[in-house]
Amino acid sequence: MQSFLSPTQHADLYDAENTWTAAEDFFLAFANEQPASRVLDLGCGTGRLTVALAGAGHTVTGLDPHPGSLDAARAKPGADAVHWIDGTSAALPEEAAFDTVIMSSHVAQAIADERDWAETLRDVRGALVPGGRLVFDSRDPQARAWERWTPANTRSHLTLPDGTALQLWIDAAEREKGLVGITEHRFLADGNREFEDALLAFRSESALRRDLAAAGFTVGRVLGGWAGQPVGEGDGELIFVAHA
């Protein structure tokens, strides 16, 4: 379907839907355990966390495959302190260049193809110093979050910075085991409508442990929530901390 929102409006919508939460507090605090370190924010989106990492004194690289998102990131205050890369993990340096790699906002689930996921982990492993840290979040399939992603539960109204008003909602369906298709519907005040489809991978804890081991990582800990809860007792998350 034709898109009626401009790239700038799409970036503004992303920022309106994805505000700072306990997840960003967690990732920032995790990075700060090693002050003034070299940090890669893989799948940085519009740079909300990326710029905060740089502001905390780290040497930060933000990588994302969507040019519109990076354009919005580069326009944020403090963005000049970040090195931005337009691309996927294949664009990372082959030598060990980072102390910490962060994949937040469930970026790991957006890499739905298993071959791409394996290549991403191998690329990250190659870009980390020995003992370097990888931290990422992935929704626990045991919590079946997609069953709550219905129009009734997700309907909201937003107004973008340029005054554009829209109503949006999400529906989701499990296409096959471990893969969930989601559609975000957008109804603009002028009567135009558009939608955006995405496919998310819901990998189990055991599958993620296997994938990390195959890429050369050692899993340090797995959490179920942003306050450090065990898996199954937190926020329906699988928060992995692994070491190269």
* Rounded average pLDDT over 46-72: 96
Tell me what percent of the residues of the chain surpass a pLDDT of 70: 99
Across-strand partners of 174? 180
pTM attached to this predicted model:
0.94
Beta strands in 65-111 (DSSP E): 82-86, 98-103
Helix, strand or coil, per DSSP, at residue 47: coil
Yes or no: say if 150 and 171 are a contact pair by the CB < 8 Å rule.
yes
103 confidence band (pLDDT: 50, 70, 90): very high
**Mean of the per-residue pLDDT values for the chain?**
95
Helical H runs in the chain?
7-17, 22-32, 48-55, 67-74, 107-110, 114-127, 151-154, 205-214
Q: What is the pLDDT of residue 99?
A: 98
Which strands, in side-by-side order, build the sheet including 193-201?
156-159, 165-176, 179-188, 193-201
Q: What is the pLDDT of residue 2?
A: 57
Side-chain-side CA neighbours of residue 27 (13 Å): 29
